[in-house]
Amino acid sequence: MRGLLNRSPNNTYTHIAYINRSIVLNNTHPHSIIVLVQILDLTDLLNFHSLIMDYLVGWSYMSLAPKVSPIVKVLSRTYKLTTSSFYNRCGITPTNETEQLRFQPCLANSPQVEEKMHQRRSANYKPNLWNYEFLQSLNSKYNPEEGNKERVEWLVEDVKPIFAKADDSLAKLKLIDSMTKMGLSNLFDNEIKEALETVASTKNFPMEGHVYASALRFRLLRQHGYVVSQDELRSFKEGSNTLTSNIEVMIELLEASHLALEGEHILDEAKAFSTGILRGSASCLDGRLSERAIRALEIPMHWRVQWFDIKRQIDLYEQQEDKQSNLLELAKLNFNTVQAIHQRDLIDISRWCGNLGLIERVDFTRDRPVESFLYALGLTQEPHLSSLRKSLTKVVILILVIDDVYDIYGSLEELECFTSAIIRWDSEQIQQLPECMKVCFQSLRDVTYEIAYDIGKDEDWHRVLPHLTTAWADFCKALLTEAKWDHLGYTPSLEEYLTNGRTSSSGPLLLSHAYFFVGHVKLEDTADLLERNKDLIYNVSTIIRLCNDLRTSKAEIDRGDAPSSVVCYMREIQIGEDVARKHIKALIDQAWKSINAHCFGNTETPFLRPFSIVTVNAARAAHILYQFGDGFGVPRRQHWAANFI
- Mean pLDDT computed over 364-392: 94
- The closest alpha carbon to 617, from 391, 377, 395, belongs to 377
Answer whether residue 186 shows pLDDT above 70. Answer: yes
**Predicted local confidence at residue 115, as pLDDT:** 44
User: Final residue of a domain: which of 466, 489, 512?
Assistant: 489
**pLDDT digit string (tens) for 253-311?**
999 999 999 999 999 999 999 999 999 887 788 878 888 899 999 999 999 999 999 99
Dihedral in degrees, nearest 10, Cα atoms 454, 455, 458, 461: -110
Burial label, 6 (beta-carbon count in 10 A; 0-12, 13-18, 19+)? middle
For residue 447, tell me if it sits in a domain: yes
Residues 607 and 500 in one domain: yes
The better pLDDT of the pair 164, 147 is held by: 164
CA distance 231 to 266: 7
CATH number at residue 605: 1.10.600.10
Answer whether residue 605 shows pLDDT above 80. Answer: no
* Residue 589: half-sphere exposure toward Cβ, Cα within 13 Å: 16
Residues 525 and 627 in one domain: yes
Residues 501 and 478 in one domain: no
493: left (phi over 0), alpha (psi -120 to 50) or beta: beta
Domain that holds residue 218: 169-323
For residue 135, tell me if it sits in a domain: no
- Mean pLDDT computed over 471-478: 98
Q: Which of 363-372, 538-547, 561-570 has maximum average pLDDT?
A: 538-547
**pLDDT digit string (tens) for 578-592?**
999 999 999 999 999
The better pLDDT of the pair 262, 77 is held by: 262
**Predicted local confidence at residue 148, as pLDDT:** 85
pLDDT band, residue 497 (cuts 50/70/90)? very high
**Predicted local confidence at residue 123, as pLDDT:** 64
For residue 507, tell me if it sits in a domain: yes
Residues 470 and 536 in one domain: no
The better pLDDT of the pair 42, 330 is held by: 330
pLDDT band, residue 602 (cuts 50/70/90)? low
For residue 161, tell me if it sits in a domain: no
- The closest alpha carbon to 337, from 610, 176, 158, 147, belongs to 147
**Predicted local confidence at residue 65, as pLDDT:** 36
**pLDDT digit string (tens) for 308-329?**
999 999 999 999 998 999 999 9
Domain count, the chain: 4
CA distance 307 to 380: 9
pTM score above 0.85: no
User: Final residue of a domain: which of 278, 298, 323?
Assistant: 323
pLDDT band, residue 149 (cuts 50/70/90)? confident
**Predicted local confidence at residue 198, as pLDDT:** 92
% of the chain at pLDDT higher than 70? 74
CATH number at residue 201: 1.50.10.130
For residue 148, tell me if it sits in a domain: no
Residues 300 and 317 in one domain: yes
- Rounded to an integer, what is the distance from CA 448 to the centroid of its chain? 20
Residues 310 and 184 in one domain: yes
Residues 473 and 528 in one domain: no
Answer whether residue 12 shows pLDDT above 80. Answer: no
Answer whether residue 50 shows pLDDT above 80. Answer: no
Residues 176 and 292 in one domain: yes
Answer whether residue 5 shows pLDDT above 60. Answer: no
Residues 433 and 501 in one domain: no
For residue 222, tell me if it sits in a domain: yes
- Mean pLDDT computed over 187-192: 96
Answer whether residue 606 shows pLDDT above 70. Answer: no
pLDDT band, residue 641 (cuts 50/70/90)? low
Residues 319 and 411 in one domain: no
Bridge-based pairing state of the strands 75-84 and 13-19: unpaired
**Predicted local confidence at residue 603, as pLDDT:** 58
- Residue 61 forms beta bridges with which residues? 81
**pLDDT digit string (tens) for 547-561?**
999 987 776 666 666
Q: Which phi and psi (to 5°) does residue 362 adopt?
A: -135, 75
**Predicted local confidence at residue 22, as pLDDT:** 33
Answer whether residue 31 shows pLDDT above 70. Answer: no
Residues 401 and 535 in one domain: no
For residue 638, tell me if it sits in a domain: yes
**pLDDT digit string (tens) for 80-106?**
443 333 333 333 333 333 233 233 333
**Predicted local confidence at residue 289, as pLDDT:** 86
User: Final residue of a domain: which of 306, 323, 340?
Assistant: 323
CA distance 208 to 200: 16
One-letter amino acid for residue 145 of the chain: E
- Mean pLDDT computed over 62-68: 36
pLDDT band, residue 381 (cuts 50/70/90)? very high
Out of 29-38, 96-105, 208-217, 497-506, least confident range: 96-105
For residue 517, tell me if it sits in a domain: yes
Residues 479 and 431 in one domain: yes
- Mean pLDDT computed over 183-191: 95
CA distance 529 to 521: 9
3-state secondary structure (DSSP) of residue 643: coil
